[in-house]
Structure 1
């Protein structure tokens, strides 16, 4: 009896360890073998979740995975080498993408030309045998520059070139120009791929200036001289910006341009002096009288003890003669005696 009891207990332990593949749910789970996804619409058991959260979630996950595996075992199978694989159907559930769909990379100008002409890119060998150096040298990459330097340790001076010109430096300059040209072409390819307007020369980035803006900038730069561009020589087929006001764009251009003439400086200065000397001064009588009165008032204020003229005194006319007021006394007669040294008043007899 003990032996039978032990066998039954062992079987019970095995059954507890290996659960059944049949899973019962109140509401049937929705499965999508193509996406290897199982959706469980059943409600969670709050009591079991609060008592032992870890065990409850583990059992729930195991049951849902078992339902998905049961669906997969019912699919058509195939044998690949030593493995048996299931043929998954097309997915029924569409998952949203976290990133946008990849697009085909736009071809560069050279790649487009090569595709039209049927030119295929061939892979170069890493090393080639150089007959001059009598050894294998790298075709590109590491140690290629050193091999080229060993090969061209001496350079022939061309017939029409300057004999004192450094041919090695000239070669380096040509290489730098070639690198710069390739960089400009690479930038143009990037701009063309982003569908941005490319200027005819150079690369100005996304904020590329239009031809009219470049022409306006050239006009302003040409006018930013001491003569406001008066004596600047024009280039062949040079265009002038239209619709711009020089005095608005260039501050002080009107003042600077006023003294710029085509006549010689000596003649211009003589004309200026003659125009100044030929002008006659204009005399403002009213202004002169007001200035004289102001000076007299300031003098009286400075010397208050000085006697003021009587109110009934004589007044002078504009012509300089005396005008006697009605309140003034008449001049006394000479009493029959006349002093010839003094000037007598009254009308002169003829």
Structure 2
């Protein structure tokens, strides 16, 4: 009796194991085309068109569900066959490394390439320097209070000193300006930082292919060396990319003054405001529309035409070279006859354009 019981238990275990394998084992006449990088599976097997036509709507839905489950099971089996590793930490998380995608999906633009590291980032990585976040406040010994580390009213601000201790060895030089030297040193540091920032932007634009940034710093130049105009445009773009749009950026030595923006500020009337002013503007517009006065002021137009003719005559006289022995006055000669012929030609030309 005990032997039969053991045999029955073994048979039941085999049936359960076979049932488990039946759920995860799928047989296909043609293997699926798998793209594990995109988690994509394409089934080249022809569909069962005969059974689809014969079955009802419920049977068709059940058949499609079974087909989707089988294909998904094959995709999951292929994922479990990939090499996996466990992430360090308290939880045992198993992660599989997906291969490179074999199918190129349509995309508007290529994915952005990683930014090139700056010289400081390369140096820090080489020396193993870890980035530490500094606090915004620090103790100021001179004022006895906590102040900001940078900016306005910062701690240790030496620009407000009214007295500077003369260093040893230069006490006998009365022409040495220590305040000027301090300001010059600060300007040199600012210029050096600006140069390094522009170099980092150029290095990031090159992308490691040895090319230099193009006009405006928006693209590489295939020629190798950019022109002076291209470098100027790149510098202008870099300056205007600050938070203040380059308004508070200091100029370099012998740098020309940057042109200010030519755009005009648009003025919009308030939606809710002086109703009397709005009513007066509308009444004025209606009065102009209902006015019986002619739209063309004849007197003003005539005076304008006369001024234009006088100015053209003066310009014509200035263009004519003066010759010795000829008088500008007299019948049929001089500038009077020439201007008369000039006005006649102009009148004929205007008449041709009208008709």
TM-score normalised according to structure 2 size:
0.33
Structure number with bigger Rg: 1
TM-score normalised according to structure 1 size:
0.34
Whose helix fraction is larger, Structure 1's or Structure 2's?
2
